[in-house]
Amino acid sequence: MTNKSYELTDPSSGTRTALPVRSPTVGPDVIDIGALYREQGIFTYDPGFASTASCESAITYIDGDNGVLLYRGYPVEQLAEHSSFIEVAYLLLRGELPGAEQHAEFERSIRLHTMINETLLRFFNGFHYNAHPMAMVSGVVASMSAFYHDTTDITNPEHTEIFSHRIIAKLPTIAAAAYKHSIGQPFVYPQNHLDYCSNMLHMFFAVPAEPYEVNPVAARALDLLFILHADHEQNCSTSTVRLAGSSGTNPYSAIAAGISALWGPAHGGANEAVLAMLNRIGKPEHIPKFIDKAKDRDDPFRLMGFGHRVYKNFDPRAKLIRKMCHEVLEELGGRDEPLFELAMRLEEIALKDDYFVEKKLYPNVDFYSGIIYKALGIPVSMFTVMFAIARTVGWVAHWKEMNNDPGGRIGRPRQLYTGPAQRDYVSVEKR
């Protein structure tokens, strides 16, 4: 708490309420409005929560004006250059970078949890072959609470530890099973001698009929993409996990709620929507027409992969992914991938347009990621699943922080009611 406070005076009654100010380690102060309804009988109103801090957190910090993203204080650029997804997972979950032994133990534990219950595999036969992978993954993750009910005591630290390792380890296996089901190929079991991303690529692309060698460039590109997608403060899906978890539900169901929220095209579904948009634009000469559509308030079309609630400058992740595009396309072929050329041209034109400049709409994390996923051979329908695999680490870190908060309460917002005032029932003859 600081010694600063705001004061609100009720204009009719003159009641004055002091609203204490709390200061963060870095970033904007917050006004604690907890006394407002009790003392003045009024609510605050902030649909979309653009000016609302929903919780106290020590995990990730974003400075949207300066394009800064810190995981437990470490700049994402440095983690992308020096770290690995498993090490970043440890950092986000535990709060510190692991020593060599801690890293080895954590990675070993994750590897030992990569297989899923054989009965869970049979769930996939219940899905039609053309079911969207996000529908399959969210359904199967929700059903994990039926298989692992022996570790859903959220008050038991051992249970929550096993849950966090299980869900991080099994998401790639579940994702790969969804992918194999959608292309009619047999499921490929995890190979625990492989690292996290190599194991995932092996499960995706190996077939029993022939040997499969993971391309280390592809594995490293995936590891980088997962680092950049691992967490992002109180975004829509993370807030969903926290809200669902605040009811005391089992953690697998809270994560499944986050997967559902991520699926939306305004959020994690944007990476899939960007590819669809680029294919729809087709050629550079069509770009102005689509820019005009995006600027037309009467046209629901938006430039997918552009804009962000928090970043009013370049999304630092978009910068790193764009740079990676060049390297990965160079290494894996597709150097002149027409969609990448088109995306860079679209970015160039949009960032010179007054509408985008005035509204501070820059490319976000989803604008380029799909181009790399495509270069890795991952189908568009799996793009948001890839996002979910990485963001599971952030969801688990925030779920644990929420679950361990001694002052934690169930999330229960109020509303501005604009429906009819009380009225009496009218029998049908009189209507």
Residues at the contact surface with ligand SDX, assessed by CB under 6 A: 48, 232, 235-236, 266-268, 270, 294, 297, 302-310, 359, 361, 364-366
Q: Which is nearer to ligand SDX, 214 or 227 (CB)?
A: 227
For the beta carbon of residue 416, count every other beta carbon within 10 angstroms. 7
CB of 351 to ligand SDX, least distance (A): 13
DSSP H or E segment with residue 262 = helix 251-262
User: Cβ neighbours of residue 420 under 8 Å, at least 6 residues apart?
Assistant: none
User: By Cβ distance, which residue is nearest to ligand SDX?
Assistant: 307
Q: Which is nearer to ligand SDX, 124 or 311 (CB)?
A: 311
Where do runs of H (alpha helix) occur along 61-156?
A: 76-82, 85-94, 100-111, 118-122, 133-147
CB distance 154 to 403 below 8 Å? yes
CB distance 265 to 94 below 8 Å? no
Q: Is 169 helix (H, G, I), strand (E, B) or coil?
A: helix
CB of 301 to ligand SDX, least distance (A): 8
Q: Which is nearer to ligand SDX, 251 or 307 (CB)?
A: 307
Give the Cα separation of 421 and 405 in Å (integer): 39
Q: Which is nearer to ligand SDX, 310 or 351 (CB)?
A: 310
Give the Cα separation of 290 and 91 in Å (integer): 41
Q: Which is nearer to ligand SDX, 214 or 274 (CB)?
A: 274
CB distance 366 to 278 below 8 Å? no
Q: Which is nearer to ligand SDX, 214 or 230 (CB)?
A: 230
CB of 307 to ligand SDX, least distance (A): 2
Q: Per-residue b/e over 373-390, b at no fewer than 16 CB within 10 Å?
A: bbbbebbbbbbbbbbbbb
The bridge status of strand 74-75 relative to strand 68-71 is antiparallel
CB distance 269 to 384 below 8 Å? yes
Give the DSSP letter string of 327-372: HHHHHHS-TT-HHHHHHHHHHHHHTTSHHHHHTT--B-HHHHHHHH
DSSP H or E segment with residue 295 = helix 287-295
User: Cβ neighbours of residue 75 under 8 Å, at least 6 residues apart?
Assistant: 68, 69
Q: Which is nearer to ligand SDX, 69 or 214 (CB)?
A: 69
Query: Token digits for 3?
Result: 């010694």
Positions marked catalytic: 308, 366
